[in-house]
Amino acid sequence: MCGRFAFYSPSEATAALFGVAGALPVEARYNIAPTQYVAAIRDAESGDRELVMLRWGLIPFWAKDPSIGNRMINARAETVAEKPSYRAAYKHRRCIVLADGFYEWHRAGDVKIPYFISRESAEPMALAGLWENWTDKESDETVQSTTLITTAANDFMASLHHRMPMILEPDGVDTWLSGDMEIIEHAAEITPPLQAWPVDRRVNNARNQGEDLIEPAGDILSD
């Protein structure tokens, strides 16, 4: 499961890495939580790529109540093509969510220790995602939302948790957004080298923000 992450790199430069020109700036955040809006890149109707803000927690287009999205923050790679909540978006509405790293809680005895995981190169991450349009039938209000694809942990991540987000290299972004159906079968294998370190438990509270949340509180592990 991926339930918290950070994105603090300049959004204009990060978006340009993935083919978006002239993107608007996005506020740096170090403790992004479900139901908040996140920076994502998708293919626009024009054929160009665009940077958009999507609510984290996918609301299926057929949902009667948007609160269903509060718990739909992750979609398992193994079942996303069949699940009614995700299969339409998987076929037609893919995106990447921008991040610099994500948090995972490792159980050590009776204690859960938060770790921050980033690319070993310290470059921004492209997290594979899906997006969806939902319209309130009474107010006609439209909400665009997203979910993150997760996969079984690779060898490095397995020491911390049994699941991880699907992380794409730039060429993998092209493949993912094109609608390719095979890349998801290799989600763990295509993960770039990662590094991880324990951080302060202040990150447990989503109201806490600031660069100090990602400061190492112990040894740095590398892939």
Catalytic residue among 50, 95, 104, 132: 104
104 is catalytic: yes
Question: How far, rounded to the nearest angstrom, does the alpha carbon of residue 3 sit from its chain's CA centroid?
Answer: 9
Q: Sign of the CA dihedral 161, 162, 166, 170?
A: positive
Residue 167 three-state SS: strand
Q: Which residues pair with 42 in a beta bridge?
A: 50
CB count, 10 Å around CB of 201?
Answer: 14
Place of tokens 């290799």: 186
Long-range CB pairs of 86-89, under 8 A, 24+ apart, other chains included: 86/58, 86/60, 86/130, 86/147, 88/61, 88/132, 89/58, 89/130, 89/131, 89/132, 89/147
Exactly one of 2, 50, 95, 132 is catalytic; which is it? Answer: 2
The count of residues in the chain is 223
C-alpha distance across the termini of the chain, in Å: 20
What are the catalytic residues?
2, 104
